[in-house]
Structure 1
């Protein structure tokens, strides 16, 4: 009998090509799960899959743009076809674009809403029936849905209005979904990172990117593995335990 808590389980991780998503995929593989790596950048997915194979784990690459409902459904079906089931969904894909309402192009707002909200809804809708089935048929007798939010979703900040909107809305969606699925033995959780040193800052404009990098440099920022550890902790609890919300900040972070 394996001593790995996720032995036999299948996890689907979105935004798995880098950062928190890639770190989470590696962590879940170490815990025994087979992992479907979902993102748009196939070349990056291949590297993560190779990392997992070197660790002795198993991962499959699913290149998909989840902002399209049909592609989200196909990503879930591809996971089922290749790995046989779906026990864990980690909704990590997202983007953080900062700027004031006066100076931000509406296209940037649309981009955040499309990826941070619409893509998450599409993949969740496609996955929920299979998570319910997994909870009723697996030895774990539980399934998990983990949404990656942000500390910014807890309060308003300048130049972060729409990003905060997407993450505050995520918190409300997560709690409603938790209440709906608790009777199905599907645990629904949100992990809210503070400042993490990832490539998300690369998507910002030059001035905002420089300011964000100064903020990261001024503290000992979180690493992607820190958030992956939080997610790993949540999904490896015994079925009697549900960790529904976890805020993870850098040790010297104030806001």
Structure 2
């Protein structure tokens, strides 16, 4: 759970107790420059990747204390390899397939770019669906659902107990899954508008434009969350909410306890950090 000043991770230790890990957030979340529109999306995404990997490393070491601990270098290497694989699978390979079809079938650039976007979207949905069949990932997705339910309950001014929180929906408009789908849709629009490019520039733009696409997608998610009561906005984000059904599962009461513990500690620390900044 993350606020402006602090991030808190709650983990269930092998003996059953809930262990909390607290990490103050970088000043990029409060800096005027790094919080400028379109810039803040890129910086937040990059920081979230590092933060998530650190918490996953801490959790893995907690679950297997007798094993050799995973260190920071391993985490950085994992992030780097994961990013390269993601860029290759979801951006470069679809671009290569579409370019091949454009050359082979002599189709126009507009159609080729749309096909590329369709392939990219299919790859993303197919990948999420496939990993969702893995038991360990299903457990991760259940914790994801516990996170959403807890935040939904808090925003609904509900008492944060497992029984009360369980009644709330799995979907949330500010979810990272929503960001992912929005990023794909934005990429289809932007790359289609770029028109016909040489094979080199087609591949190059898929990498160079990633920060731009991330910035646009972040601003849309932020805007839609701030206007969620508007019927038109709610209709616009329906595909995002539908996709979240692939990345969430119904959590059990124990998972909800973990999510609630992280959220309550984040709220407590946020008040402390905010008051210290005021003084």
TM-score with structure 1 length normalisation? 0.30
In our comparison, the structure showing a higher alpha carbon Rg is 2
More helix as a share of residues: 2
